[in-house]
Structure 1
């Protein structure tokens, strides 16, 4: 049957339910959010009283940080109600998601009510993580069973990309296919088909990893702070590492999953690892469950001077003490290594306690994942996808094994007393030395059942530029231009935080020239954690501190000219940003023919934070767009003021959707791609569409209306008000005045039409003058040293 999802019912408004509702509302779906009626509320009480639980839960979700919605306006798509009065309303819903408490009898009562009102054929899924899916559907009608499935979202649903799909033996295959596709394309999820086994895929592997770390730390005599230093970003894992993650998730939740595996997986060869340590039992008894109870492995307190202090639990004494900064020779050696895979090799080769920990950590993980095939998944890539999307790993477990060498590690694992599943040894004996390989830009995985390599599904929709290393057209020390097929080229660079310096600008200009000669168009994107944190401020600081103003002027001109090259080329240039897209990275996007942004794109012009104004065409572009948006029926200064204050307050869009509201992305022109993995493929498709529609190079603008003194006075008055109210420092006000001068086209006596170059010259002059200010240099130095802005 053909399915469309126009309205979703979410049954249960707890932490997960309310946030799942917010995520659906964020992608444009109408949501009915229901929960129980508070005790002792009369049947004839007003809806506000009967819906207090659901309304309070939704309010708390909306106020939470990070926000569960892309923009605040989507909340109007959520209607609240209660199970007693509003269950009948599910008849108008296309998908019913149950997210009530993890108790079988309560869920079954909910399903009895659902059966009374749901239309035949309506999807019904459960977000359970602790009850087998096949048990939940027992006793239900044939139509219910056919359309029933597990859909396990991870919290917070907006940010964690994993959605595990768990069918029962009765689930219609069409339902599974639909959920896999819908979750990927519309919800922006990495949809992973999982078997109905305890903890499914991600939690089974993830909780094993945490319990194995607990086991190793006791053997090696390591503490909480040491483990978190060893298991965070240094190995491509989130900053929360091990113990901070446990505090966030909830220590009771961790223990529940571990006990569930130990009790329900009698044939798990590593089930002893899931035995709860004595100190963990004590934490549960003390109600030290992490963030939800105010203390867990960490505890926030106030120091003697009233400042906030974080204490760490000593697992031997069960007392809290100030945090320590661990020092390991292996860590110091590996930290400067930018490439994760190279860094992992250095870490596991360490000869100190850290190196020993890393070897045993990986041996245990590799052994465990090998034995979980085919128990929890028939395909290895699903395991890696689940861990990256659900636990935030940069690379999956099997890919890590490839990185460290499969053959080499099998030998050393055996010597250290670890076993590997027979299929791994069969794979190696057949001459297959890795779990993954890349051919013609396509990633292949080793399929255990057929004993051969198969393409990873979704290869066309998910373009990974690092898979095109055999298709490099041109490169320099920091960047590469790839042929990604269909006569489309793609530029990627790899610098610290993907900052933009001279080599990146050289690559950009070379890529556009090459694309004009040989391709239909150019995509600019990357596979890194962020698109770009902006221009290389270290270079700006060096020129400024040495008063090399001619060099600095030349560098700014080069940046401006490169941005204009993006706009004025004979081929379409489409940019696919994601993550942090700040300063110069934002300016590049402002000049693209089209933006295909990931929903999780945090984009804005933030130069005011370091005492500068946007100097790479960003200020010019905001003036140009303000000019185009001016209407006769409203004061002309309104649209200019709005854009001025977005720059003056260094406002950053918290999502691709919010970038429309800030005037960075253009409605009806630029595009938000909810699934981050699809953005490069969408950008490629857009290049082809623009080319085939008869793309011609735009003509530089000479008709930009600037308002001169009539607007400058209003902006200066606003700046003065901010300064007098102590919302802006003296230096903030100085920088803002220079910004206002540029955005008004200078001290003109009347409104005028000017060219882009006129505005670029004003922008550059203001930027240069600010580079000579001591307080600007102090701000830049603070960012370079600590990564934190300075208010001076």
Structure 2
């Protein structure tokens, strides 16, 4: 049997919160998807599902990468629709967490499931082997658990849980599909309650709740302690509980209590009294508007247990503890935490200690290696380091001794001893040979599944270093490199947020020149997000305030020259974009031969927000594209409308698909779902273009423009907005100039101009705007606050 899982069509069973969003993400990824639920009591039998699909469009963050995709999901129900399963290659069951309901459904669908189809349960903690028991013998080897984290489009983690009967080839095929097609980070978990992520994650929340009470800290103080200050998400502990839903939280805790009677920490698997009291009142967190936190007017208040009421938030890090957490050396930081008598420091040490203790004690039973636990916590809970990485970074042996001491003295939550392997002389669990597996008592390398060859730079674990290639050229702004013997070079920016400075402009031009001589293609790619936050505003403002207008104009001309150099390079230049690509960053990808976009690409020409207009060739490019699209007799103005609105309103795409809709990306640009595969795909695209006899486009010398009539039409729209007070007079000024440039200036409608003419218009209007006091106020405000000023 081949292990290539070909998914032409998928089915999702259950149109609840998770099921509907999994169906949405499958559809994002181009998988034809059928969504099932119970038949509606009256009217259209598919009514339940139709309603769930309609709701997807309203959710935030958006499960669909493009609202139009909602129409592609096929609604079905278990009474009249089961025949549809016969055309499905993958079925994901995502109904409510009840063993009996799930098993009944499996019996019902079994006769309709084809002989090759993979069936997976998206349970967050029920036994996979137990679920498999009701399946007919011939289906068991194609059944396993696949646990997506909420929201499925954005959370990188997918836990894959084999049953004893699951075929290895089925797992490998599903892992490949989840990784490349859906863009997930896959961790293989053992069939134990709550698997890896929620087992450790929920325990760490229970530990935090226990120590909150022991040390008498406020909920807001604990959230200040357990968020970004220790490399965790802003939602920290209690905000996370509110977002998840306090009822869901209580349900998960009860599941742990019911299914883990032997766990040495079992005594703590119960919801605190205050949590149950809130649930009884119907205060379930974010979904009901009140939980641990509530909003009154504009203020967010926090529950005070002493006063039995909400109060203003006051909880912040004590200065002494905040200073201690800023310590760069983890060994010094942990030593200071343990030595401190400050309640906040004691709290943090206790939380780390008990989570390390719990993770080490259970590692062998829940996962194959320590790597799986650390990735589950990073990808599923947003921790910057997993528990084993944190422990190893702080000094494995020393921390192990401290934990052992605390256990003996009765300070730890449980008196269960640490496993023997912790003390076998090791310096940690991650090393060059891989990560430790207590079950096999050896270091285990990363997965050999061929799908991982597509990740040139996988998410690195503590101590892992991936070759950075050979430097071909470097200056203060960029580094150009290639792998040994490779014919495609890569150039990356070295500036903060990958902003575009003079050194980046000069470096890019130099990189293109070298690529033309020595390589078949060039990829612009950044090792970390964002792709680029745009031009270096601080440098620009400095030149302006010093009155160096000529210097400022030269910088703009150099920007345009760089974009043109990318466009007309003799080898294909491919932009590999993920995260933000704003302003100049967006313009560089517009000029590349092709862009490869990660699904989560947030692209925009946002210069209007700082009182400017795009002048790196972006507006010129819109005019060129509109002329090409309209052809000799078409309506150029109609082709410009969307692009003009995108720029004038400073819109930023919320996905790669939306970037296409906003005309900030081309329909021919490629979308990649796994950000770790972006570089691989971009290099393949560059190579394919080169191998197919790539030539740059011929210079655009006959661009038909919308001219004065186009400008006048745009102005009519703008005057209405100005009179309705939707925009300020300065916004009107900026937008009018944007319209003037994209329409080719005050020339006749249908007049023919060349690129040089349009670039000159861009420069003139950009420099004119830059000298206006209101624009300089906007730039200064953005630099100071990071927020746009409406003046």
* TM-score using structure 1 length: 0.90
For residues 771 and 332 of structure 1, do their structure 2 counterparts lie closer, same or farther at Cα, with a shift above 3 Å needed? Answer: farther
**C-alpha contact (below 8 Å) 1:381/1:456 kept by paired residues:** no
3-state SS of paired residue (2:453): coil
Counterpart among 19, 36, 40 of residue 17 in structure 1: 19
Which residue in the other structure is 1:657 paired with?
657
Counterpart among 454, 467, 470 of residue 445 in structure 2: 454
CA distance in 1, matches of 2:344, 2:768: 49
Which residue in the other structure is 1:440 paired with?
none
Which 10-residue stretch deviates more, 55-64 or 408-417? 408-417
| Structure 1 position 389 matched with structure 2 position 394 | no
**Superposed counterparts of 1:155-554, under 5 Å:** 155-302=150-297, 308-324=298-314, 326-329=316-319, 333=323, 349=336, 354-417=344-407, 420-426=418-424, 428-429=425-426, 435-437=430-432, 444-448=434-438, 449=440, 451-452=442-443, 454-455=445-446, 457=448, 459-464=452-457, 467-468=465-466, 471=469, 473=471, 480-485=479-484, 486-493=486-493, 495-516=495-516, 518-554=518-554
3-state SS of paired residue (2:522): strand
Cα RMSD after superposing both structures: 2.9
Query: Could you list the runs of 5+ residues in structure 1 that have no partner in the other structure?
Result: 303-307, 438-442
For residues 741 and 367 of structure 1, do their structure 2 counterparts lie closer, same or farther at Cα, with a shift above 3 Å needed? Answer: same
CA distance in 2, matches of 1:522, 1:197: 47
| Structure 1 position 784 matched with structure 2 position 783 | yes
Which residue in the other structure is 1:734 paired with?
733
Which 10-residue stretch deviates more, 190-199 or 136-145? 136-145
Which residue in the other structure is 2:625 paired with?
625
The CA deviation at 1:506 is 4.7
The CA deviation at 1:267 is 4.3
The CA deviation at 1:31 is 2.2
**Superposed counterparts of 1:21-32, under 5 Å:** 21-32=23-34
Counterpart among 126, 131, 137 of residue 132 in structure 2: 137
CA distance in 1, matches of 2:262, 2:631: 72
3-state SS of paired residue (1:600): strand
**C-alpha contact (below 8 Å) 1:330/1:347 kept by paired residues:** no
Which residue in the other structure is 1:693 paired with?
692
CA distance in 1, matches of 2:130, 2:280: 31
Which 10-residue stretch deviates more, 676-685 or 695-704? 695-704
Counterpart among 39, 48, 55 of residue 37 in structure 1: 39
**How far does the alpha carbon of each residue in 1:590-622 deviate from its partner, in whole angstroms, 9 at most, with x for none?**
122221111111111111122211122222222
3-state SS of paired residue (1:34): strand
CA distance in 1, matches of 2:446, 2:510: 33
CA distance in 1, matches of 2:514, 2:318: 47
CA distance in 1, matches of 2:83, 2:332: 58
The CA deviation at 1:484 is 3.6
For residues 165 and 455 of structure 1, do their structure 2 counterparts lie closer, same or farther at Cα, with a shift above 3 Å needed? Answer: closer
**C-alpha contact (below 8 Å) 1:334/1:343 kept by paired residues:** no
**C-alpha contact (below 8 Å) 1:367/1:421 kept by paired residues:** no
For residues 502 and 597 of structure 1, do their structure 2 counterparts lie closer, same or farther at Cα, with a shift above 3 Å needed? Answer: same
CA distance in 2, matches of 1:529, 1:256: 37
* TM-score using structure 2 length: 0.90
Query: Could you list the runs of 5+ residues in structure 2 that have no partner in the other structure?
Result: none
Which residue in the other structure is 2:115 paired with?
120
The CA deviation at 1:15 is 0.8
3-state SS of paired residue (1:555): helix
3-state SS of paired residue (1:576): strand
CA distance in 2, matches of 1:575, 1:518: 19
Which residue in the other structure is 1:615 paired with?
615
**Superposed counterparts of 1:750-761, under 5 Å:** 751-761=750-760
CA distance in 1, matches of 2:349, 2:251: 28
**How far does the alpha carbon of each residue in 1:206-242 deviate from its partner, in whole angstroms, 9 at most, with x for none?**
1122122223333443322222222223433222222
**C-alpha contact (below 8 Å) 1:20/1:157 kept by paired residues:** yes
**C-alpha contact (below 8 Å) 1:573/1:593 kept by paired residues:** yes
**Superposed counterparts of 1:570-581, under 5 Å:** 570-581=570-581
Which residue in the other structure is 1:772 paired with?
771
CA distance in 2, matches of 1:497, 1:323: 32
CA distance in 1, matches of 2:588, 2:533: 12
**Superposed counterparts of 1:10-89, under 5 Å:** 10-39=12-41, 41=42, 46-47=43-44, 50-89=45-84
| Structure 1 position 6 matched with structure 2 position 8 | yes
For residues 384 and 476 of structure 1, do their structure 2 counterparts lie closer, same or farther at Cα, with a shift above 3 Å needed? Answer: farther
